[in-house]
Amino acid sequence: MAYDYDDTNIFARILRGEIPNDTVAETEHTLAFRDIRPQAPVHVLVIPKGAYVTYDHFAAEASEAEIIDFTRTVARLCNELGVAPGEGGAGCRLIANSGPHSHQEVPHMHMHILAGKPLGPMLA
């Protein structure tokens, strides 16, 4: 399977420093910043620094170091934001829209962290 990465997408531009962002965490392989149109009191986007279009692309082609860094950055952030259920927080929703039917708007793999209020059931 070939994945075509469009390096003009908005998150690629954020990673190149061409567009400002409200960074909440940065590691060697991962960047996290607040969503510009928050859908909940806490709405953070976590992205790999590598050029991956979708979650399956990331899972297939990222190195183990990138995948571990990404996964643990998501968990550490949830903890730091006070929403990790295992650390006494009230919980969070993690969403990675992937591909056209998911309504993925930005073609750079990302995980939404949504939290800060009861979110209700997922809608179709």
| Binding interface with ligand 5GP (CB under 6 A) | 10, 19, 21, 33, 35-37, 45, 97, 103-106
Query: Do 34 and 115 contact (CB within 8 A), yes or no?
Result: no
Least Å distance between CB 97 and ligand 5GP?
A: 4
Q: Which is nearer to ligand 5GP, 36 or 90 (CB)?
A: 36
Q: 49-68 b/e with 16+ CB inside 10 Å = b?
A: bbbbbbbebbeeebeeebee
Q: Please pick, among 43, 103, 110, 112, the residue that the annotation labels catalytic.
A: 110
**Is 103 considered catalytic here?**
no
Least Å distance between CB 95 and ligand 5GP?
A: 7
Can you tell me the distance from the alpha carbon of 35 to that of 46, in angstroms, rounded to the nearest whole number? 10
Least Å distance between CB 24 and ligand 5GP?
A: 11
Q: Which is nearer to ligand 5GP, 79 or 104 (CB)?
A: 104
Strand positions, DSSP E, the chain:
23-26, 30-34, 42-48, 92-95, 111-115
Q: Which is nearer to ligand 5GP, 79 or 97 (CB)?
A: 97
Sequence-distant (≥ 6) Cβ neighbours of residue 12 within 8 angstroms: 6, 51, 108
Residues marked as catalytic? 110
